[in-house]
Amino acid sequence: MTTEATATTTPAPGGKRSALEAANLGEDIKGKVFIITGAYSGIGVETAKALLAEGGKIVIGGRNPQLLETFSKEMKDTYTEDQVDGFEIDLGDLESVKKFAEYILSKEYKDIRLICNAGVMNTPKGTTKSGYETQMGINVIGHFLLAKLLVGVTARQIWLSSLGHTMNKSPRIDIELIKKYQGGDLEGYDGWAAYQQSKLGNVLLPKEFAKRYPNIEAVSVHPGAIATNLARHMSVWGMAKFMATKMWELSKNSNGHKGMKSVKVGASTTVTCATLPLEKLVNGGYYEDCGISTESESAKNEEDAKALFDFCEEATMEFQAAK
């Protein structure tokens, strides 16, 4: 498909490539179905637009019905009506996740590419409707259930993680802490520590999905530091403190940290992973700047990946049962 990005003969380097250019460089995706959680916000918007521009079909999952309807209409008006579908999903409510999955299954889509894009960061102390610490519940457990329910019709999973999984010297996943929070004991809660654990979970789980299900390619993505509403839970002071301390810490963990990216550039690694030909995708890999990268040692721990998967399996079992 001819788009504005094809005017460049030499692609921009991965760290500066737009989502649209990344889509141009991928395989032919005409007619392929992409499910994107949180597609009406942040990098989800640019991810959706790039895939639509190349002829893909998107299914938008989001918890705000007004934003869902508005964005769906905008995309249908800009592209074609049959390229856009949508349904409400609240990742913090496992019953809502199940209803969304049932809707997808009723449409009989095949070879779906699931983009686990939605997420929250450094939230105040609290739990989801289903009783899990907010960040673990939304970023990890809700997406796990969705991915598990759709495992039979999914060809590829892309999980949005972050360099944030290396915060605080990259501690390993702590299943006992997840259980403690689930039990309602939030004493000593640290929003950044919980964020690190959730983003670590989003690297570990796709590795385990790739191992357990031969029909699925699964990867995780670090999109980069991007100015989106992901930081909506932070005060001005909190954001200033983050930029002064946490961003500095993360810069030391990154190979050639490049600072803030635009939203269009930030979505490019997701789009790359969604459109790469099978033979070029590193199954279970961790991607940034449109290419394979190196995750922390704690994110490579196979025993932890299995333990987290098994925990999520048990935690969501009642919602996996057929009616």
Q: Which structure tokens are listed for 104?
A: 């997808």
CA dist., res. 241 & res. 282, Å (int): 36
CATH architecture of the domain with residue range 4-314? 3-Layer(aba) Sandwich (3.40)
End-to-end Cα separation, the chain, in angstroms: 43
Catalytic: 79?
Answer: no
Q: Can you give the pLDDT of all 323 residues of the chain as single tens digits?
A: 444 444 445 889 999 999 999 999 999 999 999 999 999 999 999 999 999 999 999 999 999 999 999 999 999 999 999 999 999 999 999 999 999 999 999 999 999 999 999 999 999 999 999 999 999 999 999 999 999 999 999 999 999 999 999 999 999 999 999 999 999 999 999 999 999 999 999 999 999 999 999 999 999 999 998 865 554 444 444 544 444 454 544 544 444 445 689 999 999 999 999 999 999 999 999 999 999 999 999 999 999 999 999 999 999 999 998 76
* DSSP string for residues in 174-192: -HHHHHHHHTT--TT--HH
CB 323 within 8 A of CB 101: no
* DSSP string for residues in 238-289: HHHHIIIIIHHHHHHHSTT---EE-HHHHTHHHHHHHHS-GGGS-TT-EEET
- The model carries a pTM of 0.90
DSSP state of 140: I
pLDDT of residue 229: 54
pLDDT of residue 295: 98
Q: Which structure tokens are listed for 117?
A: 């894009």
Q: Which of 40, 109, 189, 213 is catalytic?
A: 189
pLDDT of residue 56: 98
Long-range Cβ pairs for the range 234-242 (8 Å, 24+): 234/121, 234/122, 238/122, 242/122
CA distances for 132 relative to 113, 170, 177, 281, angstroms: 27, 22, 11, 33
Residue closest to 198 by CA, chosen among 151, 142, 124: 142
